[in-house]
Amino acid sequence: MSRSEGGVVPDDLVCQGASNIIKGIVEKFGENFNDPKKPFAESWHELAKYDHFSMRGYLMTIEGYDEATIDWLETNTSGTGLFDCAFVQTIMDFLDFGMAAPKTHTRPTKYTPKHD
Protein backbone atom coordinates (compact mmCIF):
# COMPACT_ATOMS: atom_id res chain seq x y z
CA MET A 1 0.00 0.00 0.00
CA SER A 2 2.87 2.41 0.68
CA ARG A 3 4.35 4.46 -2.14
CA SER A 4 7.80 3.01 -1.50
CA GLU A 5 6.35 -0.44 -2.17
CA GLY A 6 4.54 0.62 -5.34
CA GLY A 7 1.27 1.61 -3.68
CA VAL A 8 -0.59 4.89 -3.43
CA VAL A 9 -0.68 5.66 0.30
CA PRO A 10 2.06 7.90 1.71
CA ASP A 11 4.69 5.91 3.61
CA ASP A 12 4.35 7.98 6.79
CA LEU A 13 0.63 7.19 7.00
CA VAL A 14 1.19 3.46 6.46
CA CYS A 15 3.81 3.58 9.24
CA GLN A 16 1.29 5.27 11.56
CA GLY A 17 -1.29 2.63 10.78
CA ALA A 18 -4.89 3.12 9.70
CA SER A 19 -6.31 2.34 13.13
CA ASN A 20 -4.07 4.88 14.84
CA ILE A 21 -5.01 7.59 12.35
CA ILE A 22 -8.74 7.02 12.77
CA LYS A 23 -8.37 6.58 16.52
CA GLY A 24 -6.71 10.00 16.70
CA ILE A 25 -9.64 11.61 14.92
CA VAL A 26 -12.19 9.80 17.08
CA GLU A 27 -10.34 10.69 20.27
CA LYS A 28 -10.41 14.42 19.42
CA PHE A 29 -14.15 14.24 19.91
CA GLY A 30 -14.19 11.50 22.54
CA GLU A 31 -12.02 13.56 24.86
CA ASN A 32 -14.66 16.28 24.84
CA PHE A 33 -17.27 13.81 26.07
CA ASN A 34 -14.88 12.52 28.77
CA ASP A 35 -14.10 15.94 30.20
CA PRO A 36 -16.13 16.18 33.43
CA LYS A 37 -15.87 19.98 33.32
CA LYS A 38 -17.41 20.19 29.87
CA PRO A 39 -21.20 19.97 29.60
CA PHE A 40 -22.48 17.22 27.32
CA ALA A 41 -24.40 19.76 25.23
CA GLU A 42 -21.19 21.67 24.50
CA SER A 43 -19.36 18.50 23.44
CA TRP A 44 -22.30 17.48 21.27
CA HIS A 45 -22.42 20.93 19.66
CA GLU A 46 -18.72 20.69 18.74
CA LEU A 47 -19.28 17.31 17.08
CA ALA A 48 -22.50 18.41 15.39
CA LYS A 49 -20.63 21.20 13.56
CA TYR A 50 -19.47 18.46 11.19
CA ASP A 51 -22.90 16.87 10.75
CA HIS A 52 -23.08 17.89 7.09
CA PHE A 53 -20.07 15.68 6.27
CA SER A 54 -19.85 12.00 5.57
CA MET A 55 -16.80 10.37 7.14
CA ARG A 56 -15.23 10.37 3.67
CA GLY A 57 -16.05 14.07 3.22
CA TYR A 58 -14.57 14.97 6.60
CA LEU A 59 -11.36 13.06 5.91
CA MET A 60 -11.00 14.74 2.53
CA THR A 61 -12.07 18.28 3.43
CA ILE A 62 -10.96 18.74 7.03
CA GLU A 63 -8.08 16.26 7.35
CA GLY A 64 -6.84 16.70 3.76
CA TYR A 65 -6.50 13.03 2.79
CA ASP A 66 -6.77 11.95 -0.84
CA GLU A 67 -9.27 9.37 -2.09
CA ALA A 68 -6.77 6.48 -2.19
CA THR A 69 -5.73 7.10 1.42
CA ILE A 70 -9.36 7.33 2.53
CA ASP A 71 -10.12 4.02 0.81
CA TRP A 72 -7.15 2.46 2.61
CA LEU A 73 -8.33 3.87 5.96
CA GLU A 74 -11.87 2.60 5.35
CA THR A 75 -10.76 -0.87 4.31
CA ASN A 76 -8.53 -1.26 7.35
CA THR A 77 -10.81 0.21 10.02
CA SER A 78 -14.41 -0.50 9.04
CA GLY A 79 -15.92 -1.89 5.87
CA THR A 80 -16.54 -0.90 2.29
CA GLY A 81 -19.05 1.92 2.05
CA LEU A 82 -19.18 2.77 5.75
CA PHE A 83 -17.22 5.99 5.27
CA ASP A 84 -20.12 7.19 3.12
CA CYS A 85 -22.23 7.32 6.29
CA ALA A 86 -22.63 10.49 8.31
CA PHE A 87 -19.49 11.67 10.09
CA VAL A 88 -21.27 12.11 13.43
CA GLN A 89 -22.78 8.62 13.17
CA THR A 90 -19.38 7.13 12.41
CA ILE A 91 -17.68 8.90 15.34
CA MET A 92 -20.45 7.81 17.71
CA ASP A 93 -20.20 4.22 16.43
CA PHE A 94 -16.45 4.18 17.03
CA LEU A 95 -16.96 5.63 20.52
CA ASP A 96 -19.81 3.24 21.34
CA PHE A 97 -18.12 0.13 20.04
CA GLY A 98 -14.68 0.62 21.43
CA MET A 99 -12.18 2.08 19.00
CA ALA A 100 -11.66 4.96 21.37
CA ALA A 101 -13.68 3.87 24.36
CA PRO A 102 -14.43 6.62 26.84
CA LYS A 103 -11.98 6.53 29.72
CA THR A 104 -14.81 6.52 32.21
CA HIS A 105 -15.88 3.05 31.07
CA THR A 106 -14.28 0.12 32.76
CA ARG A 107 -14.04 -3.18 31.00
CA PRO A 108 -13.26 -6.56 32.48
CA THR A 109 -9.82 -7.75 31.51
CA LYS A 110 -10.66 -11.39 31.90
CA TYR A 111 -13.86 -13.37 31.97
CA THR A 112 -13.93 -16.18 34.48
CA PRO A 113 -17.07 -18.28 34.50
CA LYS A 114 -18.45 -19.01 37.92
CA HIS A 115 -19.05 -22.62 38.80
CA ASP A 116 -21.43 -23.55 41.60
pLDDT reading at 115 higher than 70: no
How many domains is the chain built from? 1
CATH of the domain at 64: 1.10.405
Average pLDDT over residues 8-19: 90
Q: Considering the chain, what percentage of its residues have pLDDT values greater than 70?
A: 84
Task: For residue 28, give its domain range.
Answer: 3-96
Give domain status of residue 73, yes or no: yes
CA distance 87 to 108: 30
pLDDT of residue 99: 55
Q: Which of 66, 77, 92, 63 is nearest to 17 (CA)?
A: 77
Give domain status of residue 112, yes or no: no
pLDDT of residue 56: 96
Give domain status of residue 108, yes or no: no
Q: What's the pLDDT band for 104 if we cut at 50, 70, 90?
A: very low
Q: Please say whether the beta carbons of 61 and 53 come within 8 A.
A: yes
Give domain status of residue 113, yes or no: no
CA distance 25 to 94: 10
Could you give the count of Cα atoms lying within 13 Å of 116 in the half-sphere of its Cβ? 0
pLDDT of residue 53: 97
pLDDT of residue 81: 85
Give domain status of residue 57, yes or no: yes
CA distance 116 to 19: 41
Alpha carbon 90 to chain centroid, angstroms: 7
Cα→Cα distances 81→55, 74, 84, Å: 10, 8, 5
Give domain status of residue 65, yes or no: yes
Give domain status of residue 21, yes or no: yes
Between 79 and 13, whose confidence is greater? 13
pLDDT reading at 6 higher than 50: yes
Give domain status of residue 107, yes or no: no
